[in-house]
A = this chain, B = another copy of it.
Amino acid sequence: MNRSDASQTGGRGGRIYAVLRQAVVDQALPPGTKLPEDALGAEFGVSRTIVRAALQRLAADGLVEMKTKRTATDARPSLEEARAVFEVRRCLEREVVRLVAARWSDTLRDALAAHIAAEDDAARRQDGPATIRLAAEFHVRLAAMAGNKLLERYVGEVVSRCSLILAVFGRPHRSECAIGEHRSVLEALQRGDAAAAIAAMEEHVSLVEQRGVGGDSEGEADLGVILSRYLGRQGGDA
């Protein structure tokens, strides 16, 4: 029903969009990977027309970069962009929690608790990818509970971009703490303490940011850092 959901340009395009989106967000494609239109078209069995539309949507989402006459690549967010995205995300999620608190109900509680249980389960199974995906989904689900389609869309966008950012900048990240923070939000909501829920969410987002891009205040010059990693093991990468 939403004008930005996957069915926008017919089923095929939507599927490609979804697949590419997930691939980019999971950082399954090495950074800077080229995404040529015909190659993708051949892969998915569609023409460039369809691929192109999907890429344009992804570019609008900030997940791939398209410059004119140049092959699209998966996006490499700058530290500045990362900061901006997290800032907006904090702002949006604050509003989400505020709204959800206002319409809190047992139904919502059960749905949220079930989701957190699923997160726990994935973490216990050591299923890294699932854990990460569920952690992102938590926020989208919560946003859906706010009853504001636009807010939900924006949150979906920033959460995806944050996943990409974490994948690009991230150290191997420990999601156990994230689950605990999710639970804190749930508990505050359940207590009916909206202010505490907002604070918990805000702290959670900030912690995610710190864990992901916080430690090294390198500016954008990760080039040196990256190269330095290779200095110690010249000629011996196996």
Contact residues of A with B, CB < 8 Å? 3-4, 7-10, 53, 56-57, 59-60, 62, 65-66, 68, 75, 81, 84-85, 87-88, 91-92, 94-95, 99, 148-151, 154, 158
Contact = CB atoms under 8 A, between A and B. Distances in A.
A91 B85 contact: no
Given A60-B60, A154-B154, 19 more contacts: A3-B59, A3-B65, A3-B66, A4-B62, A7-B68, A8-B59, A8-B66, A53-B53, A56-B57, A57-B60, A62-B150, A81-B149, A84-B148, A85-B150, A87-B95, A88-B148, A91-B91, A91-B95, A91-B151
A148 B81 CA distance: 8
Nearest to A95: B91
Nearest to A67: B3
Nearest to A87: B148
Contacts of A94: 91
A85 B153 CA distance: 11
A56 B59 contact: no
9 contacts: A4-B59, A8-B60, A53-B53, A56-B56, A87-B95, A87-B148, A88-B95, A91-B94, A154-B154
Contacts of A57: 56, 60
Contacts of A88: 92, 95, 148, 150-151, 154
Contacts of A92: 88, 91
Instruction: List the 4 closest A-B pairs by CB distance, nearest first.
Output: A91-B95, A84-B148, A84-B150, A88-B150
A68 B10 contact: yes
A130 B88 CA distance: 30
A72 to B, nearest CB: 11
Contact of A84 (B4, B81, B84, B151): B151
Contacts of A148: 84, 87-88
Contact of A151 (B3, B7, B10, B87): B87
